[in-house]
Each structure stands twice: as C-alpha cells, then as structure tokens.
Structure 1
C-alpha cells in the first residue's frame, strides 16, 4: 500500500518532516518514504490511500501501563498512592478472575490502538489475572506488547506491615519468578514477534534483595529485560534511606542498573541518582498525569534529559490517569515542567514527541525496528486527521500533535504493515462487545471486593 499526500513527521536521525509525503509499505516494513509525486512516479501500479490533511507520526510507545487496571477506571480518585493501593486497587485486583484480566487487557489494547499507541510495556501482570489472556489480547488486536510478569516474594509495601497487599495478590518466589520464566518460554517472540515477555518486578520493599539478585542474573543470562517502579513517592525514598541507600545505590547493589532495565516514575532523585542512572544506561519512564493525580510529585525531567538519560513516556494505569490515551500525556509532559521551572523553553514539543516515539522504542530495545519512520523499519505509524475545527489552524505539525491532538483525532493506525484502525475504528476486535464486557465485569469485581458503597459520587445521586 502507498500512503500519499500526508505531512510526515519521521523522527528520523535528521528529524525530517515531509510535506506532501508518502510511505510505501510492503509486508511488515517501510520500503520507501519520499515526496508523493516521486513515489507515485516510481510505483504507479501500487494501491494508494490518500492522507491529504493528515499528519503522520511513528506509532506511539506507551512505556508504562497496567492493563488489568483498565477494569478499575474511576475507582481510586482523589487519593494518594499508599491509600489508593491499600484501600482500593489491591482489594479490587485481589478479587480478579482470569476472565476479568483478559477482558481488561482487551479493553486496554483497544483504547490504546484507537489513541495511536502501537507498542506498550505492561508493568507487572499478576498470575491471578491470567497472563495467557493478556497475550491472546495482544495477539488478536495486532498491537505490540512488551509484557512484564510480576516478580515478588514479600506481601507488603516498603516492608511496612500496615501497608499489606490483598492476600489474593501475594505470590511466592516460585510462582512469580518461575511463572515469568514459564511465560517467557511460552510466549516470547510469538504473534510474529510482536510479543516480548519481561520481568515486572515489584517496587523495592516488595521484593527481597536475594530475589532481585536472582532475577537480575537471569536477566543477563537469558536476555530478559526488567521494568520496575522506583522512587515514585517520598515513602520510597524513606525506605531506601532506612537501609543507608539512595534509589540509585540500592538498585545498583542488587544489579538493577543497566541498559536492560526500565525504571518508572523516578520522581524523588537527587543529583547523584540522576548521574548514576545516566552513566549506567538505565532507562526512565515519565508518567506526569499519574504523578500529579496521586500527589506523588513531579519528576526532574529536564535534569534527567540534560544528564543524557533516555526518558520515555507512559500513561500508567486507568485508576491513576483515567485514560490510556498517550496523546493526552504528551501535552502535560510538555507543559508541567514549564510551570515547575518558570521556563517556557525547558521542554519543547519536539522533545516530548521524541519521548513518546524513538525514546520509548530505545527503552524497550526496539529502536532498530520502530520509533521512527525510515526505510527498513517496521511499518508502525499513525495518521491524525486535521480536518476539524479543533485541529485548525496549525503551522508546526509537531506542536499540533503534542499540544492539540487527542486519541479522538486518530484516524488510521498501521502496525507491522497491517491496518488495525481505519476511520477511527478498531478492525481487529469488536469494540462494542469489549466495552459491554468491561462494564459488567467491573461491577462484579467491585461487588466481590465489598467496595460498592465507597466507589460512588460524593454528591447526592437519585
């Protein structure tokens, strides 16, 4: 297929933008990208799709996501992290069935695809959610998924007994680490290479030093990447300090720092932490909406970028963001640091788009295949429709994408050379069946958890 007459933001090494550009896709790859007139002359017999008045970008990479939590959207509003976890999210997730987990995963990938996300990193999918169901959802939908299977052996948060996990979520070392290896052997590389299985370690304080060291050793020998929350809230920093450590020194002591590790949030870092992360090649994921909504703080993104650290972007889960729309995350990432630093130039729109594309691909070890639109790379791209009042006028296409567009403006999504969204509709799944099942299963989980009376409007409803 030859996609023609688009404004193409390539995010290539030269950061070239093509006006009236075209992309030729053969199989799963981009075989040509040039001005429309040139490609029409070279390939006169190719079928074409006219993308006049659309902005084409590389497929977005959501580098931090909790798929199961899509079933829990709106159940934990206006709470800080520890109470959010202990009083709402863990009790709800502890009452999941595998069927609930698969329904949540299907809803999550449909929403992400409709919003232009073509690849994502699931943070820590638990056994009770049914990892096979998550993989089936990725396989059927056509999205790319790097899927973190939870690794843990302690039932508390920051080793504090009053912050205990719901019993239904607790996994032993054998079930979590062994289960991750089993799922890696079963699913890694499946779905034409779109599925990758990762270690999804719990936050320090939920995993023993011994298990971290065992996991990081396996990561090195088997080539399994690791993702983990770190330094998200002040309580995390206090935990590290109680051991005589900082976030970076602790991670280094158990083998977590390095280019195969993606650390998420990283809000509470000092200058030495930032330098250590950058020097080690460890990747960081910025989740501004989640950090703001849970009152966790604001990541020192400008300092991380200046240090040379690779920083990607993530939405986090639906109960702490309320949407899986990464395009909306771009805007907040571009403006919140201007307010913190009182400098409107500190983070540009171009930097934010890099975080959501090539930086995300680099964090996932996929930058040789995705993250930019270049000949030889996978045909993963998104067309944003500007034929509407809310998108007009625009003068800088990057600004239009970062500061204006939302998932509702996405018209076309191509992953691995296949159209998975066209006309704003997902082609690979029955959207109505997905949302109807989400509604039913969410109500059942809330009922089983005994939280029906707590999850409701504060205002009188009759």
Structure 2
C-alpha cells in the first residue's frame, strides 16, 4: 500500500516533517518514504490511499497502562489515594476472574488502538486476571504489547498495615516471580514478536528486598525488563526515609536501576535521585492525568529532561484517568508544567511528542523497529484526519497534534503493516461485543465486591 498526500511527522533523528509526503508499506515494514510525486513515479503499480488533509505520526507508545482497570472506569472518582486504592480498586480487582481479565484487556486494547496507541506497557497484571488471556487479547487484536506480570510478596503499600491489600490480590514468590518467568518462556516473542513479557514489580514496600534482588538477577540473566511504580505518593517518600534512603538510593541498593528498567510516576524525587537516574540510564514514565486526579503531585519533568533523563508518557489506568487516550495525555503533559513553572516555554509540543513516540520505544527496547517513521522500521503509524472545525486552522503540525487533536480524530492505525483501524473503526476486533461484555462484567465485579451502592451517582437518581 502507498499512503500519499499527507503531512508526515517522522520523529526521525533529524525530526523531519514531510509535506505532501508518502509512505510505502510492504509486508510489516516501511519500504520507502518521501514526497508523494516521487513515490508515485517509483511505484506506479501500488495500491494508493490518498490522505490529503491528514497528518501521519508514529504509533503512540503508552508506557504505563493497567489493562485490567479499564473494566473499573468511573468506580473511584474524586477519592484520595488511600480510599481510592484500599476501599475501591483493590477490593474490585480482588474479585476478578480470568474471564473478567480477558474482557478488560480487550476493552483496553480496543480503546488504545482506536485512539492511536500501537504499543503499550502493561505494568502489573495479577495472576488472578489470567495472563494467558491478556496475551491472547494482544495476539488477536494486532497491537504490540510489553506485558508486565506482577512480582510481589508483601500485602501492604509502603509497609503500612493500614494500606492492606485485598486478600484476593496477594501473591507469593512462586506465583508472581516464578510465574512471570514461566509466562516469559511461554509467550515472549509470540504473535510475530508483538508480545514481550516483563517483570511488573510492585512498589517498594510491596516486595521484600530479597525478592527484588532475585528478580533483578534473573532480569539480567534472562534479559527480562522491569517496570515498577515508584515515588508516586508522599507515603513512598516516608517509606524510603524509614529505610535510610532516598527513592533512587533504595532502588540502587536492590539493583533495580539501569536501561532495562522503567520506573513509573516518579513524583517525589530529590536532586540526587535525578542525578542517579541520568547516570544509570533508567527510564521514567510521566502520568500527568493520574498524578493530578489523585493529587499525588507533579513530576519534575523539566528538571528530569534538563538532566538528560529519558522521559516517556503513560495514561495509567482508567479509574485514575478515565481514558486511555494518549493524545489527551499529551495535551496535559504539554500544559501542566507551563503552569507549575510559570513558564510557557517549558516542555514544548515537540518534546511531548517525543515522550509519546521515540522515547517510549527506547524505554521498551524497541527503538530499532518502532517509535519513528523511517525506511526499514516497522509500519506502525497513525493517520489523523485534520479536516474538522475543531482542528482548523493549523500551522505547526506538531502543535496541532499535541494541543488540538484527540483520539477521536484518528482515522487509520497500522501495526506491523496491517490496518488495525480504518475510517475510525477497528478491523481486528468486534467493538460492540467488547463494550457490551464490559458493561455487564463490570457490574458483576462490583456486585461481587459488595460495592454496588458505593460506586453509583452521588446526586439523587429518580
């Protein structure tokens, strides 16, 4: 297929933007890229999709996602973190079945694909959700998934007994760590190498130091990357201080830091932590919607970027964001730090797009194949239809994407050279069956958890 007449934001090394550009896709890869006129002459026999008035961007990389939680969208709005976690989310997740986990994964993936995410990092998929079902959902949908299976052995948050996990979520070394190793053997590289299996470690305080060290040792021996929440809430800082550490000195003490580790949230950091992140090449994920909605604080993204830390972007889960739309996440990432710093030049649109594309690909170890639109890379890209009143006029295509567009403007999505969405509709999944099953399964989970009356409208319903 030859895609023509579009404005192409390549995010290549030179950050080229091609007007009236064209992309030739052959098999799973980009075979050529250039001006429309030149490629039409080179490939006169190719089938053409004309895309005048559209912008093409690399497929978005959602570097932090809880696929199970999309089934719980709207069940814990406007709560502070302890209540949100201990009274709602953990009890609900502790009542999941593997069929619920599969339905939730399908719902998450459908929403991500429709809104331009072609690759995601699942952070902590619990054993009770059915890891095989998550992998099947990735395989069937055509998306690219790095899938973190939970690693834990302590049933509290930050070692605080008042933050006790629901019993249905507590796992031991054998189920979590060794189970993740088993799933890596079974699924890593499957679905035409679209599936990668990771360790999804719980926050410090939810994992013993011995298990962390065992996990990091296996990670290096078997090349299994690690993702972990860290320094998200004030309680995390309290925990690190109780151990005689800062956030990063603690992580360093259990061998967590390095280019194969992706740390999430990273709100409560000292200057020394930022220096350590830069020196070790550890990646971090910024989740502005989650951090603002749960009032966790504001990640020091400008300071991290200035220090040379690799910063990526993630939506987090639907109960603390309410959407899996990375385009909306980009907009908030681009405006939040301007207000926090009283500096409108802070974190410009171009930097935001990098966090959601090439930086995400680097963090996931996939930058050789995805994250930018270049000859020889995988054909993972997104077509945005800019022919709409809410998108016109535009002058800088990057600004238009970051500040104006949302997932509803996505027209075509390619992963591995296949159109997984066309005309704004999925081609690999039955959307209606997905949302209908999610609708009734979510109610069943709420009922099992005994929270039916707690999650409804707060105003009187007639």
TM over 0.5: yes
Q: Give the corresponding residue for 1:17.
A: 17
Q: Give the corresponding residue for 2:127.
A: 127
CA distance in 2, matches of 1:257, 1:178: 21
CA distance in 1, matches of 2:46, 2:458: 58
CA distance in 2, matches of 1:160, 1:58: 42
Q: Give the corresponding residue for 2:61.
A: 61
SS in 1 for 2:302: helix
CA distance in 2, matches of 1:441, 1:280: 43
Deviations 1:2-32 (A, max 9, x none): 0000000000000000000000000100010
Q: Give the corresponding residue for 2:212.
A: 212
Deviations 1:281-305 (A, max 9, x none): 0000000000000000000000000
Q: Give the corresponding residue for 2:256.
A: 256
Q: Does 1:335 align with 2:326?
A: no
Aligned-residue offset at 1:83: 1.6
CA distance in 1, matches of 2:80, 2:396: 38
Q: Does 1:189 align with 2:189?
A: yes
Q: Give the corresponding residue for 1:319.
A: 319
Deviations 1:184-214 (A, max 9, x none): 0000000000000000000000000000000
Aligned-residue offset at 1:153: 0.3
Q: 29-38 or 76-85: which moved more? A: 76-85
CA distance in 1, matches of 2:335, 2:14: 25
Q: Give the corresponding residue for 2:384.
A: 384
SS in 2 for 1:18: strand
How many residues get paired? 462
Q: Give the corresponding residue for 1:461.
A: 461
CA distance in 2, matches of 1:357, 1:2: 22
CA distance in 1, matches of 2:81, 2:27: 45
Q: Give the corresponding residue for 1:113.
A: 113
- After superposition, residues 110-189 of structure 1 pair within 5 angstroms as 110-189=110-189
Q: Give the corresponding residue for 1:406.
A: 406
Aligned-residue offset at 1:346: 1.0
- After superposition, residues 270-281 of structure 1 pair within 5 angstroms as 270-281=270-281
Segments of structure 1 that go 5 or more residues without pairing to the other structure are none
CA distance in 1, matches of 2:196, 2:80: 32
Q: Give the corresponding residue for 1:394.
A: 394
SS in 2 for 1:30: strand
CA distance in 2, matches of 1:34, 1:174: 52
Aligned-residue offset at 1:321: 0.1
- After superposition, residues 232-311 of structure 1 pair within 5 angstroms as 232-311=232-311
CA distance in 1, matches of 2:233, 2:291: 9
CA distance in 2, matches of 1:74, 1:283: 30
CA distance in 1, matches of 2:238, 2:25: 51
Aligned-residue offset at 1:82: 2.0
Deviations 1:350-380 (A, max 9, x none): 0000000000000000001000000010000
Deviations 1:18-69 (A, max 9, x none): 0000000001000100000000001100111111111000000000000000
Aligned-residue offset at 1:325: 0.4
Q: Does 1:372 align with 2:379?
A: no
Aligned-residue offset at 1:245: 0.3
Q: Please give the TM-score of this superposition, normalised by the length of structure 1.
A: 1.00
CA distance in 2, matches of 1:82, 1:4: 51
Deviations 1:301-321 (A, max 9, x none): 000000001000000000000
CA distance in 2, matches of 1:197, 1:337: 33
Q: Does 1:199 align with 2:199?
A: yes
CA distance in 2, matches of 1:427, 1:13: 32
SS in 2 for 1:191: helix
SS in 2 for 1:70: helix
Moved over 3 A (4+): none
Q: Give the corresponding residue for 1:421.
A: 421
Q: Does 1:361 align with 2:361?
A: yes
CA distance in 2, matches of 1:197, 1:399: 34
SS in 2 for 1:284: strand
Deviations 1:265-289 (A, max 9, x none): 0000011000001110000000000
Aligned-residue offset at 1:160: 1.3
CA distance in 1, matches of 2:164, 2:316: 22
SS in 2 for 1:69: helix
SS in 1 for 2:171: coil
Taking only aligned residues, the RMSD between alpha carbons, in angstroms, comes to 0.4
CA distance in 1, matches of 2:400, 2:158: 42
Aligned-residue offset at 1:409: 0.2
SS in 2 for 1:180: helix
CA distance in 1, matches of 2:196, 2:83: 32
Aligned-residue offset at 1:81: 1.8
